[in-house]
Structure 1
Amino acid sequence: MLMSDEVDAVAPRDEDAVRRSVEHMAMMLADMGFPRMPSRVLMTMMSAEETSLTAGDLADRLSVSPAAISGAVRYLMQMGFVVREPAPGSRRDHYRLPDEPWYGVTTAKRGFYGQFSDEAEGVIDAAGGEDTVAGRRLADMRDFFLFVQDQVGSALARWQEQRQQGRSARR
């Protein structure tokens, strides 16, 4: 199998166990609403020792067509989980995970909660205000998303502090 990067493994890998885990985690993400093929590609990239993979590498590892990989990486790039980079001297693009992909995606999507809450405010008014059944439901939704926005912001700040402490301890 052609690899994008040469890798010297520190410990032996159990490729069958990695593949089973990738498929299981992808299924879990799909059960939460994340599209199945992008889930498989993301988990394959997360579990790879290489820093980047080509569409061919991903297709080989997942036993799927390059077209399936193309759509999946396009989706993952739009979400902020994958970055495409040209390979010098090659016509093939390489795909890599950005630094701290989960943090970055969560930070980028955090603004959605506030925007959704703002939009809900207009619907509450249009539905007759918070004294109506629909208005109360919509207000509860608005308040929930405002709460989540605040809590996600606090959690992200704590994560950065914890991550910095962990890096300092390893030095």
Structure 2
Amino acid sequence: MPGDRLTNEDRQHIAAGLAEGLGYTEIGRRLGRPGSTIMREVTRNGGPDDYKAQRAQEATRQRARRHRQAKPPAPPAGDSSHGRDPRAVQDLTESFATLLEQQGMPRMTARVLACLYVTDSGALTAAELVQRLGVSPASISQAVAFLEQQGLLKRERTPGGRRERYVVDDGLWVRSTRAAVQQNDTLIAASQRAAQILGAATPAGARFGVAAEFLLLVNAPLRQVMEQWQQSHTDRNARAPLSE
């Protein structure tokens, strides 16, 4: 199952797949796991050219042994406001982070985003994230940098203070989608240029041409959806009663 730990047999299949020259996605498909899981497994155990199943299995046992010996971090505090069950909120946060991780987001990044997303304010400082997640400031800094690059959070100053806090809001997924569209635009331009250089009638050039054509089709409805959302959001704000 995708959420289970890799077994020794899984690692044997990974090693065999690498020897065949298969990519992470194809190996993951054969094992019923995300390609990102395979990539992390291979990367932390020697890379694609030096991955050994038995060595990876032993390294995993040693990491698990060290983890059991270490003092476990305190669980994140659940939000008990609005009559919520703190345990239910904590479980929700962890399950949402796991979902994001299974979709390819790095684990710490997923935990930070989930922690922010379940708060009513949608805003926490680095110190608050460190306390809630029981991790180092450096881990928070790396996760925040990734999320900011993807348009999934923004920084702002705390009211009346000098510290920064990290914020998620209702525009999170719009910004994320816009970032994806911009990344696709970059790939489209590069693919079109590659097709010209290689020759559109050649197999390699045609491959780039097909990529550009597909990404253009992907971006068109995404732009339309964002425009519709923006118009809907504007209309909703216009209908909202003015506060006295």
Work out whether 1:14 is the aligned partner of 2:85.
yes
C-alpha distance after superposition, 1:98-147 (max 9, x if no partner): 55121123224422222211110121123332x33323322221111111
Summarize the alignment of residues 82-93 of structure 1 with structure 2, pairs less than 5 Å apart.
82-87=153-158, 90=161, 92-93=163-164
Take 1:108 and 1:152, find their aligned partners in 2: how far apart are those partners? 11
56 and 151 in structure 1: CA distance in 2 versus 1, 3 angstrom threshold: same
Equivalent in 45, 58, 65 of residue 116 of structure 2: 45
Work out whether 1:160 is the aligned partner of 2:236.
no
Question: Cα distance, 1:157 vs. partner?
Answer: 1.5
Q: What is the SS of the residue equivalent to 1:84?
A: strand
Take 2:235 and 2:159, find their aligned partners in 1: how far apart are those partners? 37
Contact 2:150/2:179 (CA < 8 Å) preserved in 1?
no
Other-structure match for 1:115: 186
Q: TM-score, length-normalised on structure 2? A: 0.57
Detail structure 1 runs of 4+ shifted over 4 Å in the superposition. Answer: 88-91, 164-171
Where does the alignment leave 5 or more consecutive residues of structure 1 unmatched?
A: 1-6
Take 1:44 and 1:123, find their aligned partners in 2: how far apart are those partners? 42
Other-structure match for 1:134: 204
Q: What is the SS of the residue equivalent to 2:152?
A: coil
- Answer with 143-152 or 132-141: which moved more: 132-141
Q: TM-score, length-normalised on structure 1? A: 0.78
Where does the alignment leave 5 or more consecutive residues of structure 2 unmatched?
A: 1-78
Other-structure match for 1:3: none
AA aligned opposite 2:197: A
The structure with higher relative contact order (CA 8 Å, sep 6+) is 1
What RMSD in Å do the two structures reach over aligned CA positions? 2.7
Total equivalences in the alignment: 163
**Percentage identity across aligned positions?**
32
Take 1:143 and 1:98, find their aligned partners in 2: how far apart are those partners? 33
